[in-house]
């Protein structure tokens, strides 16, 4: 019996006690639309998630659900919820393990999130991933194929639905246990670890479609807009104090340079080390000494974007130093490098901050951002420029700032056509790739066996230029001088202001 075998796996994994067998079996029969166990002509798969797919087909045959993707995902989420601890039990176990070590607690939570199919490990495995060596280190490239495309039937059903404003957004705590709808993801098997950050209620969850190891989200229990301010730095540092094995960072809080969800205050983190974190100190900059914050070291990072790295054993001092830099940057202009703080009342300057631990020290990397538009660059002056849009035109958020490209799924078939074009074979290459492809054909060295690798490396070079376009102070003699002017202004004016006090 496939139902018995499915329950057997959960008991073997320690997710269920033997005493729960009958209860869970009956719950599963109900989800299948069966009033009793049935002998079906199905050889149960050895893999648990493949077995879940088999059960899903049986539910379709029973007429319990249709064939639309959303219906299948909602049903599967309900099935896997049978084997996930309740929020209270999970939180109790998490914090008990935390007393042993933060790592033990996150390992427990991550394992459950994967086993329950909340983290879509099979979908994530479809992503195309590779690395490209550059002058700034090894950039990571991902063509994102993990999120399945909606079929026309589901799109039609979504249009027929009435508007529902619950949960308010995909990051609200009210998503925990939510069944889902045609136009909203299933979250029955979703769990959130509740935690305090400063004097506020926050939550920790993992990302269903992770881009890197233990990709997690820290979210405010209150639905409120994202804002980069002093409290942001304080919360980021406080989170790394609680989870020293994880980095945590925030998208910027302005359109163009911000992330995809600016309506709900949240941060991203995880157990991954990005190229930016490994980048060395920029040798062309002096060693800055900041008398106002004698226990904070300041470095300019060798990176295509403009990164100030602070380190300190003092949580208070590093937060205060970051806030000073932020306040100075908000109002800073330098027309020589086209940096303007405001256009009328519209503010342009903000920061993408990333916190981590470096042995016993707290570390804050502040990436300077500007969302100014110009006639020549209507999508953003410090945004991927028009000639790169055939590869990447979306916002450059936190993950990409640190050196991991998240490229659109359209590139998989499109690059296959580009490869055929380069090899002078029949193709359906998109016209917007032609100028790039013609240049590659003139300058590149490749054949049928190497063209795929060649194209991967060339796409990596495009991403390198994307990051360069997004940098406010370019890694050029003029840009270095401009960056140094800003740093000296911050340090010297702060010290003068302190003397006046």
Q: What is the pLDDT of residue 343?
A: 95
Domain membership of residue 370 (yes or no) is yes
Residue 368: inside a domain: yes
Whole-number Å distance between alpha carbons of 443 and 437: 10
Final residue before a domain boundary, out of 36, 64, 92:
64
> What are 311-354's pLDDT values in tens digits?
999 999 999 999 999 999 999 999 999 999 999 999 999 999 99
pTM of the predicted model as reported, rounded to 2 decimal places: 0.94
Round to whole Å and give the CA distance between 496 and 501: 9
> What does the pLDDT average to over 82-110?
98
Q: Categorize the per-residue pLDDT at 57 as very low, low, confident or very high, splitting at 50, 70 and 90.
A: very high
Rg of the chain taking only CA atoms, in angstroms: 25
Find the mean pLDDT for residues 494-501.
56
Residue 85 falls within a domain, yes or no?
Answer: no
Question: H/E element holding 368?
Answer: strand 361-370
Q: Are residues 222 and 131 in the same domain?
A: yes
Measure Cα distances from 274 to 139, 240, 350, 402 in Å.
Answer: 8, 16, 22, 6
Task: Give the pLDDT band of residue 158 (cuts 50, 70, 90).
Answer: low
Instruction: Provide mean pLDDT across the span 131-140.
Output: 97
Q: With a cut of 90, say whether residue 370 has pLDDT above it.
A: yes
pLDDT at 98: 98
440 lies in a domain? Answer: no
Pair 38, 144 in one domain: no
Q: Are 162 and 50 in a shared domain?
A: no
Residue 393 belongs to some domain of the structure: yes
Q: Which domain holds residue 129?
A: 124-403+474-500
| Average pLDDT along the chain | 94
Say if residues 188 and 178 touch (Cβ distance below 8 Å).
Answer: yes
Q: Are residues 54 and 130 in the same domain?
A: no
Mean pLDDT, rounded, for 358-379: 96
153 and 53 co-located in one domain: no
- Please indicate, yes or no, whether residues 282 and 190 belong to a single structural domain of this protein: yes
Q: Which residue has the higher pLDDT, 315 or 182?
A: 315
Q: Residue 42: pLDDT above 90?
A: no
Q: How far apart are CA 37 and CA 156, in angstroms?
A: 35
Contact predicate 334/482, CB 8 Å: yes
> Are the C-beta atoms of residues 141 and 236 closer than 8 Å to each other?
no
Contact 165, 176 (CB under 8 A): no
- 87-100 and 102-115 are packed helices; what angle lies between their axes, rounded to 10 degrees? 140
240/384 same-domain check: yes
pLDDT digits over 208-236, tens only?
Answer: 999 999 999 999 999 999 999 999 999 99
Domain limit, last residue, from 40, 64, 88 = 64
- Mean pLDDT within 131-159: 82
331 assigned to some structural domain: yes
Please state, for a pLDDT cut of 90, what percent of the chain lies above it.
89
Among 269, 223, 218, which Cα is nearest to 244's?
269
Examine residue 67 and say whether the peptide bond preceding it is cis (omega within 30 degrees of 0): no
Number of domains in the chain: 2
**Is 111 domain-assigned?**
no
CA 176 to each of CA 93, 162, 190, 192: distance values in angstroms, whole numbers, following the listed order: 17, 22, 5, 7
Contact indicator for 3, 32 with CB cutoff of 8 Å: yes
Residues 54 and 156 in one domain: no
The full length of the chain comes to 501
Q: From residue 463, give the alpha-carbon distance in Å to each of 15, 134, 243, 277, 376.
A: 43, 10, 31, 18, 21
Contact 315, 241 (CB under 8 A): yes
Final residue in a domain of this structure, among 44, 64, 84: 64
Q: Is residue 291 part of a domain?
A: yes
- Which residues on neighbouring strands pair with residue 206, listed in sequence order? 216
Do residues 418 and 437 lie in contact, with contact meaning Cβ atoms separated by under 8 Å? yes
Mean pLDDT of 71-85: 97
Q: Looking at residue 195, which CATH number applies to its domain?
A: 3.30.428
pLDDT over 70 at 357, yes or no: yes
């Amino acid at each position: 019996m496939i139902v018995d075998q499915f329950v057997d796996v959960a008991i073997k994994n320690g997710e269920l006690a033997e005493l729960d067998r009958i209860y869970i079996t009956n719950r599963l029969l109900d989800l299948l639309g069966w009033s009793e166990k049935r002998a079906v002509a199905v050889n149960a798969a050895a893999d648990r998630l493949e077995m879940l797919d088999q059960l899903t087909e049986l539910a379709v045959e029973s007429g319990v659900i249709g064939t639309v993707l959303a219906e299948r995902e909602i049903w599967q989420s309900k099935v896997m919820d049978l084997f996930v601890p309740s929020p209270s039990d999970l939180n109790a176990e998490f914090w008990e393990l935390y007393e042993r070590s933060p790592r033990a607690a996150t390992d427990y939570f991550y394992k459950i999130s994967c086993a329950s199919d909340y983290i879509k490990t099979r979908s994530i495995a479809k992503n195309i991933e590779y690395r490209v060596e550059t002058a700034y280190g090894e950039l990571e490239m991902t063509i994102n194929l993990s999120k399945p495309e909606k079929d026309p039937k589901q799109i039609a059903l979504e249009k027929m639905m009435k508007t529902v404003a619950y949960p308010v957004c995909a990051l609200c705590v009210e998503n925990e246990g939510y069944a889902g709808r045609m136009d909203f993801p299933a979250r029955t098997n979703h769990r959130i670890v509740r935690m305090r950050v400063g004097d506020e209620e926050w939550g920790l969850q993992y990302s269903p479609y992770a881009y890197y190891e233990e990709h997690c989200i820290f979210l405010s229990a209150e639905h409120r807009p994202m804002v980069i301010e002093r409290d942001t730095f304080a919360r980021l540092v406080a989170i790394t104090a609680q989870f020293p094995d994880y980095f945590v960072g925030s998208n910027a809080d302005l359109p163009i340079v911000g992330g995809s969800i600016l309506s709900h205050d949240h941060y991203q983190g995880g157990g991954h080390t990005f190229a930016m974190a490994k980048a060395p100190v920029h040798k062309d900059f002096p060693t800055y000494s900041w008398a106002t914050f004698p226990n904070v070291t300041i470095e300019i990072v060798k990176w295509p974007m403009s990164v100030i790295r602070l380190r300190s054993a003092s949580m208070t001092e590093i937060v205060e130093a970051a806030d000073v830099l932020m306040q100075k940057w908000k109002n800073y202009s330098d027309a020589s490098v086209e940096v303007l703080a405001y256009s009328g009342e519209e503010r342009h300057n903000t920061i993408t901050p990333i916190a981590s631990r470096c042995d016993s020290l707290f570390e804050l990397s502040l990436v300077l951002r500007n969302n100014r538009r110009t006639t020549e660059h209507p999508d953003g002056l410090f945004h991927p420029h028009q000639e790169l849009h055939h590869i990447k035109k979306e916002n450059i958020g936190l993950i990409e700032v640190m050196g991991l490209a998240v490229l659109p799924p359209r590139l998989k078939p499109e690059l296959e056509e580009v490869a055929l074009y380069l090899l002078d074979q029949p193709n359906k290459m998109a016209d917007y790739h032609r100028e790039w492809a013609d240049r590659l054909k003139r300058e590149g060295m490749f054949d049928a066996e190497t063209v795929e690798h060649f194209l991967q490396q060339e796409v990596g070079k495009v991403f390198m230029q994307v990051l360069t376009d997004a940098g406010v102070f370019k890694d050029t003699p003029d840009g270095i001088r401009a960056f140094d002017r800003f740093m000296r202004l911050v340090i010297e004016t702060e010290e003068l202001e302190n003397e006046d006090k």
